[in-house]
Amino acid sequence: MHIHILTLFPNMFTGPFSESIIKRAIDQGLVEIAIHNIRDYTSDRHHVVDDYPYGGGPGMVLKPEPLFAAVAAIRGECGESEKGEAELPVILLTPQGRLFNQRATEELAKYEELILICGHYEGVDERVREHLVTDEISIGDYVLSGGELAAMVVVDALVRQMPGALGSEESAGEDSHSSGLLEYSQYTRPQSFRGWEVPEVLLSGNHAAIARWRREQSLLRTIKRRPDLLERATLSDEERMLLEGMRRGED
Ligand SMILES: C[S@@+](CC[C@H](N)C(=O)[O-])C[C@H]1O[C@@H](n2cnc3c(N)ncnc32)[C@H](O)[C@@H]1O
């Protein structure tokens, strides 16, 4: 996968992209990440990227020209005629976008190449949103100072689920949200810590019993913390009955 990030602050990506799972995925060639400085796509002497909002008000707004130029250059690089909008999504990070979740990650993972635009200041000129952008993503109902951290979140979630990105000691298969449920509780050594014991079943060596206990824990956690997720989760008849029992137990 090839991810292009348009930003005014390229250095912000240096640390997060040169550590851990993302670095390994880059080194393995699973993902290529190109950071483009929006300022490099200006055509004036002072490399101006923002201006005052029409109609007045606080803050500055990102001008449309450099963003259109940057996207055109990237499209040109990868053969615009072959890659239309459908194959090369242009995604604006914005608190006004659709909420990012595991399902959105899976959707985006289908693309070979995509562009992420990081806004800043008061945001971007509306014509970017109307005529350049094909998708808008928010990472939560709060306002960040810029789209950079949001882009990092999207990249991390995308890379994590790429086959081969996680080492043998890690696994995404049972992560919270991957099955529509929250993950079960995890324990490691010591077996007894300050008098708090690891559940007996995890020490039993009985793999079927452990798997059953974990699935029950997942259901229990989800019903307690995020009951909204259960509406979309894929559950067996047995699990549905278990869930009913848990619900009755809560009443
Ligand atoms: C200070 S915000 C601008 C907010 C804008 N005035 C509004 O109310 O929609 C600056 C930039 O940060 C990014 N940003 C802020 N919050 C975000 C969020 N929750 N998800 C994704 N990007 C966000 C966007 O790229 C945005 O253009």
**Rounded distance from Cα 144 to ligand 1 centre (Å):** 5
Where residue 143 falls among pLDDT bands split at 50, 70, 90?
A: very high
Instruction: Identify the residue whose C-alpha is closest to ligand 1 atom 20.
Output: 138
Mutate to test the pocket of ligand 1, among 38, 67, 94 (most ligand atoms within 8 A of CB): 94
DSSP assignment string, the chain: -EEEEEES-GGGGHHHHTSHHHHHHHHTTS-EEEEEEGGGG--STT---EEPPTT--SS-EE-HHHHHHHHHHHHHHT-TTT--TTTS-EEEEEEEEEEP-HHHHHHHTT-SEEEEEE-BTT-B-HHHHHHT-SEEEESSSS--SBSHHHHHHHHHHHHHTSTTSS-TT--STTSTTTSSSPPPP---S-SEETTEEPPGGGGS--HHHHHHHHHHHHHHHHHHH-GGGGGT----HHHHHHHHHHHHHH-
Q: What does the domain layout of the chain look like in residue ranges?
A: 2-160, 192-250
CATH of 2-160, one of 3.40.1280.10, 3.40.50.300, 3.40.190.10, 3.40.50.620: 3.40.1280.10
Q: Which residue(s) pair with 118 in the sheet?
A: 93
The model carries a pTM of 0.92
**Rounded distance from Cα 143 to ligand 1 centre (Å):** 5
Q: Select from 1, 7, 2, 5 the least CA-distant residue to 145.
A: 7
Q: Over the range 207-223, which residues count as b (16 or more CB within 10 Å of their CB) and which as e?
A: eeebeebbbbbbbbbbb
pLDDT at 35 over 90: yes
Tokens for 141, please give them.
């109902």
Least confident of 10-24, 93-107, 124-138, 172-186: 172-186
**CA-CA distances (angstroms) from residue 164 to 2, 24, 151?**
16, 10, 22
Mutate to test the pocket of ligand 1, among 93, 138, 142 (most ligand atoms within 8 A of CB): 93
Counting every residue, how long is the chain?
251
pLDDT at 81 over 60: no
pLDDT tens digits, one per residue of 89-106: 999 999 999 999 999 999
Residues serving a catalytic function are 95, 122, 160, 175
- CATH number assigned to the domain covering 192-250: 1.10.1270.20
pLDDT, residue 79, reads 62
Sign of CA dihedral 153, 154, 160, 161: positive
pLDDT tens digits, one per residue of 189-228: 999 999 999 999 999 999 999 999 999 999 999 999 999 9
Residues having CB closer than 6 A to ligand 1 are 93-96, 118-120, 122-124, 138-140, 142-147, 150
